[in-house]
């Protein structure tokens, strides 16, 4: 059986990408979710290269090719933010190829994604958050869910961080702090409020009825094993609908709500940055815009020269 040059080129591209992703996962210890995103972005690069005439290797790609690729992806509906992440993945991969002598240049350098309007993160109002968390706990699953949702809102955890919590950390959690492994394997300690501690204690008392004897996870599903992130998302969305909230509630919305409400009350941006585990304060500053929206609404209602005159 004859192997074509095109097939050989495609195999080489796939092998390079696999080696790069292995390094990201094993040496740089990026999260599985991040590695999965990189894989998808680099596979799209391979697909775009495969559509070019000839048997192009990575070294044959130039900046005009990359600009054309970005235009193609944008035409297919990819927004500026997604394209920015994709370009970042490509840029890092080409930097890695250059360090190994595979390429002589980085064609992604200098290429910028199209600008798109920045969407503010969606957060619940304090009243909506209270409504979500005031549902009756009538069964074992509801007790577990209450502990999960209170912990999201109390400490601003990411979905993967909460799902990864182990029973071994229960004592510290009930004492008022939770230790989590965040992005890039950075450990941080976040305070836990009294309502969340009460909810977790209630779940911990019931957990043996559901958990398998050898399961280390704090939160488990019907089969006694660690509760998956998808099920947490579904349970939260279902709770939001049952409580009559107008928008579909997801875990990151509770993280946004935590950040927004703490910032509104304290004004301490640095503290919110630490609790969220943001590497850059620029990531946290988006919540100042949410805070301003809240203040603007109060101003519009309170200031005599801001209120619209009625006919």
The residue annotated as part of the active site, out of 144, 158, 226, 261, is 158
Close Cβ partners of 269 (under 8 Å, ≥ 6 residues apart): 263, 281, 284, 285, 287, 288
Q: Which of 85, 47, 92, 48 is nearest to 68 (CA)?
A: 48
Q: Which of 228, 222, 232, 274 is nearest to 254 (CA)?
A: 232
Using H for helix, E for strand and C for coil, what is the string for 181-192? Answer: ECHHHCEEEEEC
Q: Catalytic site residue 255?
A: yes
Q: Catalytic site residue 252?
A: yes
Close Cβ partners of 237 (under 8 Å, ≥ 6 residues apart): 248, 249, 250
Virtual torsion, Cα 164, 169, 174, 178, nearest 10 deg: -60
Give pairs for 108-112: CB < 8 Å, separation 24+. Answer: 108/63, 108/66, 109/63, 110/63, 111/63, 111/66, 111/67, 111/70, 111/87, 112/84, 112/87
The residue annotated as part of the active site, out of 74, 81, 179, 252, is 252
Q: Under a CB-based contact definition with an 8 Å cutoff, are residues 148 and 219 in contact?
A: yes
The residue annotated as part of the active site, out of 183, 188, 195, 225, is 183
The residue annotated as part of the active site, out of 226, 235, 255, 261, is 255
Length of the chain: 311
Give catalytic residues, as residue numbers: 158, 183, 252, 255, 278, 287
């Amino acid at each position: 059986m004859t192997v074509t040059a095109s097939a050989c080129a495609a195999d080489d591209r796939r092998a390079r990408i696999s080696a790069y992703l292995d390094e990201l996962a094993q040496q740089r210890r990026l999260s599985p979710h991040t590695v999965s995103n990189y894989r998808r972005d680099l596979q799209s690069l391979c697909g775009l290269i495969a559509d070019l005439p000839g048997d192009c290797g990575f070294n044959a790609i130039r900046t005009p090719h990359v600009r054309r690729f970005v235009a193609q992806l944008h035409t297919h509906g990819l927004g500026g933010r997604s394209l920015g992440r994709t370009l970042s993945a490509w840029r890092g991969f080409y930097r890695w190829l250059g360090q190994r002598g595979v390429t002589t240049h980085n064609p992604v350098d200098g290429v910028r994604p199209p600008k798109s309007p920045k969407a503010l993160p969606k957060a619940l109002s304090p009243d909506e958050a209270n409504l979500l968390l005031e549902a009756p706990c009538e069964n074992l699953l509801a007790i577990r869910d209450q502990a999960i949702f209170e912990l999201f809102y109390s400490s601003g955890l990411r979905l993967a961080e909460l799902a990864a919590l182990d029973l071994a950390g229960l004592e510290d959690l009930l004492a008022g702090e939770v230790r989590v492994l965040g992005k890039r394997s950075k450990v941080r300690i976040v305070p836990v409020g009294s309502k969340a501690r009460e909810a977790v204690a209630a779940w911990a008392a019931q957990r043996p009825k559901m958990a398998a004897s050898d399961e280390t996870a704090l939160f488990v599903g019907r089969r006694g094993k660690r509760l998956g992130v998808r099920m947490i998302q579904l349970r939260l969305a279902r709770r939001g609908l049952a409580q009559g909230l107008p928008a579909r509630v997801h875990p990151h919305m509770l993280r946004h709500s935590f950040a927004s409400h703490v910032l509104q009350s304290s004004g301490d941006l640095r503290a919110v940055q630490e609790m969220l585990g943001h590497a850059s304060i620029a990531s946290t500053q988006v919540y100042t815009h949410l805070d301003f929206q809240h203040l603007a609404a109060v101003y519009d209602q309170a200031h005599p020269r801001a209120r619209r005159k009625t006919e």
